[in-house]
Structure formats: C-alpha cells, structure tokens
Structure 1
C-alpha cells in the first residue's frame, strides 16, 4: 500500500492481513534496509494479526526525499503517524530493528495510550562508538554487481562476523533484501545514497534525548533483543535499559552480531511472549 508524507513523498508499505480484532504490528527496518527485511517475519506472525512492514522514505518502493536532511528519525516518526492516521489504526504495537528501534522509542510518547507494546531489536538510547563508526564507513557508498552471486559474496565479506554460521543461500537471501536490479541490469543497493548526509551532523542519527524517549515505553510490554556479538547495543546499555524499564524482557541471541533477523529461536520465542503480553492487555 502507499500513503503520502506531510512534505509530499509517496511512501510504501507491505500490508499482510490478519484478524482485525487483534493488535496490528508496525514493523520498521534498519538504516539501509527496507520492508523486505520483514517478509519472513510477517509470514510467520500475520493471519493471527495484521502486520505492516514499511519502506522508510528513500528506501525500497518509497519515494526519495527532495531534502536529504529529512532523512532523520523525527521525520520518519511523522511519516509513520501519517500512515497510522490514514489507515485509521488506533491501538498498535511496533517492531523496530536498529534505526527502526530508534524510531519506535521516539514514537512512544506521541503514541501514548495507543502503543500497546514494542520490540526493540539491537539498538538503545546510546550507540556504541565502534558500531556507529562502522555504519558511517559504508552508508551512502554505492556498489553494483553483475549478478546476484557477486552481490551475495560482497554481503558475506562485509557481514561474516555478524552471522558466522550462515551459508551461501543465506547470503543470497540477504542480498535480495538489500539490493535491486536497475534499468541497466546491474544489481545495486536499494536506497537513496543521500541518506548518509545527516550522519555528518553529530546526533542526527538518533534524537535529542533518547533516554527520555525510552522512558515513553514505560507501562507497556517491551522486549529488547540483542545480538551477542553486537557492536551497536552494548551489554551495559542493555542492562541500563532494563533498569529504566523494569517490566521489559532482555533476550540475547547467541553467535549473532548486529542485528538479529528475529527468525532465531531465541528471538522468535521473545516475539511470541511479547505478543501474548500485548493480547492479555
């Protein structure tokens, strides 16, 4: 489905139908990712409930922004509020990976009373310097490949420490989530390279006060999923998040870095427990 942002960008989401009486899930992907990241997740959890996986502006099938400085979390929050209003969605829950988790935290206070629960996947109010440096090192750098196999090998080279147990089919599947085929027949990254521009402004990658934003999730069911090998969400930050949200659950996915796919047994079980808590009200 499509909707329009306040500044005239045509935005896209994949809408997986489900029981209209159940709390729907709004799924928000990471910085360079898109709605395809949630395809397997949506197939697993839709039916019992509606699942909406969004393409943030500048990604996937969403339009590119005229102003590159609109590629910031607070604008993404406004885009999602426009989606919720257009769809007439009252109560909902959020699944946010990396940047999507930041957006989830920032939306918590504006959506107070409507947000039924949230899963924050491998991100926190503080981002580890090493992980942030790694992201700055690759975001906005175009690459193209003649075949999907070439793209998969490039993805493997960049991420083998994140998913040390993956095989070729896993890398091919990830490449097809990250890349698209352009009009010249080349396999290219599926996002606007200008999303890197706000990263030149210190703090633009998150929000003004992320610990205050996290506190907006108090009183609702929350799960925090962390990759054991994550370089973005440190163990100390994760424990501080638990102290800030005493009723939240922290789940660590072994032998995975940034970020868990949410198909891992530990993560899938955490999703199930979170949804049970949400459905119990």
Structure 2
C-alpha cells in the first residue's frame, strides 16, 4: 500500500475518480468506454466462467462490534458433518467483501484432514455490514471487530487467520492489541497481498487518495451531500471503471471477465464516501513492530509479482521479518491471487492449515464447538 498506484486504483475503481471523471472529455471517455465494452464482450464469448456454480451453504448471522456496529458474517461447517479440528477466519480487503473468498469457501470445508470450519464476515461499512461512523473507520477498530467476530463465532479451539490486503493489516492490528491470543490460540496466519507499513515512503501526499489531497476530501464530501450525483457518474463510467479494475486487480489482462465482474460488483456495492472514510488509517498504517507477535504461529506470506496495488516487495519485507514464514511468489499475478490463481492459493492455504493443525495439537487446544 506504499505505492502511489494503490490510492489511484482503489479510488478510481471504488468510484472516487469516477466522480472526478465528470470533468473528462466526453468524446474521449465515450470512445474508451466503447473499446472496453467490446473487449469485455469478446472475452466473455471466449471463456467459460471461472466462478464456482454452486457454493456450500453457510449459516448467515451477524456480530455486534464493541461500538454497536452490526457486522454481517457467515459460518460454513466441514463437509460430511465432520467435527472441525480448527476454525479458519477469512478477512477481506478494502472496497471488497467476503465474496473475495468464493473459491476458498468451497475448497476449505472439503479438506480431508484436518476438518475445517470456515468463518467469513464483511468489514464495517463494506458488503452487508452496517455503515459505521467515519471516526470509527480505523485499522485499530478493524482489529477490535475481528476480536468481536472471534469471541462470538469462534470462542474456543485453534484458529487460522487469513487476511487479504487491508484484511492482513486487520490481523496485524489484532496481534498488536492482543499478543496473548496469538500465543495461546492462533496456530496459523495467512497474509495475502498485504503490507506491514512504511506507508510514507513513496510520496503518498501527492497521490489521488492521499489524506493530504484535497480531491479526496472534496469527493468524499460531495458523496455525502449529493450521493445520487456521484453514483450517477459511477454508472455512466461503469465500463471505464471495469477496465481499470481489470488492469489493477489482475496481472493477466485476459482473465475471465466473470472474475472482473465479481470484483467490480463488490466495489460498486460500497458507497464512495464509505470508502474515503478509510483513507487516513490506510495512509498511516505502520505495524512492522507487530510482526514478531505472529512468530508463535505458522505463517504464510503470498503475493503476485505484478501486483500494482501493493508491490510484491512489501511481502518480501514481511517474510524477512518472519524468517520461519513460508513465502509463496506468484509470477505475473496481480492483487487478487485468491481469484486469479485460486488453485495455487488453495494449495498454499491447505499446507498452512495442515502445519497449523500439527502445531495446535501439542498445545492441547480444544477443538472448536459446532454451533447449534
């Protein structure tokens, strides 16, 4: 997230630049939209949709955060009615929601050994979770939200926590707040396409979504005062935003358009001003010092070398701080490897979970209880 393209990408794809895009020449924008629409139809005709046709049914529920915000969540038990060995909690990134884990929510409950129970939830102001006050949209609060999810949906037994992008930062915030939880219950940690900090090292003050950029504040204010105007611009620029999403989310520009549609749908479901509420906390994130708190767990670090949102070097830095971590490098892959190369990520997560289960056994941790 220290790269200036992060803020450009998330802002544009999230609709911020879409609002600013009203000032773009109409003729140029129309031609670009037409080109993207044609490309989109061509790819759709050439490919079979890669998103799973059927997904395991989960129990939808809600968790109340410590400040009263309702978080939408879901639990998926192991296939075949098996008793779970551990609980895997999947935490999505900025501007997305729990649909990020479409492939993993299908594959993980099907694991033979260990039997895995999966918990997913939407971060505050994302997906189906309740819109939160601007002042509460901080990584510190996201760490507390994750703690609320664990206390409510996984109060006992060993844990494997997996976070993508801002979700990985959420895990680091929780580790900073509750190091004893990681020593006592967290047997595995997965950090996918994320950063531990050094956020000011790449000229953030001059970037589109920097907290110092008046455009960010202006668009956020406009979205609050005239939400219909901003959302209208988003709709008009939908093909442009789709093309930008494909460019920055994926390394392979011939990726199945259904996967781009999925990301585009997730981003579009979030209000523009809800996304700008997180700018300050992302811009000041620095939790390098919290990384040693993860060392008591098995750690997986995975990222694509073509990630234009959070450069691969950030994952290298995390792995360097955790010498026993397993670093999975995905050549040519973008910011969403769990979608773009889901089979590789599934295999890496399976290895992490298996190592975590072995680590948890000597601790004598009780298995998670099946919820009625």
TM-score (norm 2): 0.64
Match of 2:191 among 107, 115, 120: 120
* Greater helix fraction, Structure 1 or Structure 2: 2
Partner of 2:308: 231
Aligned pairs for 1:126-205 within 5 A: 126=197, 127=199, 129=202, 133=207, 142-143=230-231, 151=238, 154-163=241-250, 164-179=253-268, 189-191=269-271, 193-199=273-279, 201=280, 204-205=281-282
Structure 1 counterpart of 2:155, from 63, 66, 89: 89
Distance in structure 2 (CA, Å) of the matches to 1:257 and 1:168: 15
Higher Cα Rg, which structure: 2
1:108 CA displacement = 2.4
Q: Deviations over 1:150-184 (max 9, x none)?
A: 846632333325422313333223333333xxxxx
Contact 2:172 2:290 in 1 (8 A): yes
Instruction: Tell me: CA distance 1:176–1:194, structure 2 relative to 1, closer, same or farther (3 Å).
Output: closer
Aligned with 1:274 (options 352, 368, 372): 352
- Tell me if the contact between 2:303 and 2:329 (Cα under 8 Å) persists in the aligned partners: yes
Counting strand residues as a fraction of each chain, which structure ranks higher? 1
Q: How many residues matched?
A: 266
- Look up the SS of the partner of 1:93 in the other structure: strand
CA contact (8 A) 1:231 1:258 kept: yes
Distance 1:191 1:45, change over 3 A: farther
User: What are the residue-to-residue correspondences of 1:21-32 with 2, within 5 Å?
Assistant: 21-32=84-95
The equivalent residue for 1:41 is 104
SS in 1 for 2:85: coil
Q: Which residue of 2 aligns with 1:184?
A: none
TM-score (norm 1): 0.82
Asked if residue 5 in structure 1 is aligned to residue 65 in structure 2, the reply is: yes
Structure 1 segments unaligned to the other structure (5+ residues): 180-188
Judged with a 3 Å threshold, the aligned counterparts in structure 2 of structure 1 residues 194 and 279 are, in CA distance, closer, same or farther, namely: same
Cα RMSD (Å) = 2.9
Q: CA deviation at 1:40?
A: 2.2
Q: How far apart are the structure 2 equivalents of 1:124 and 1:240? A: 8
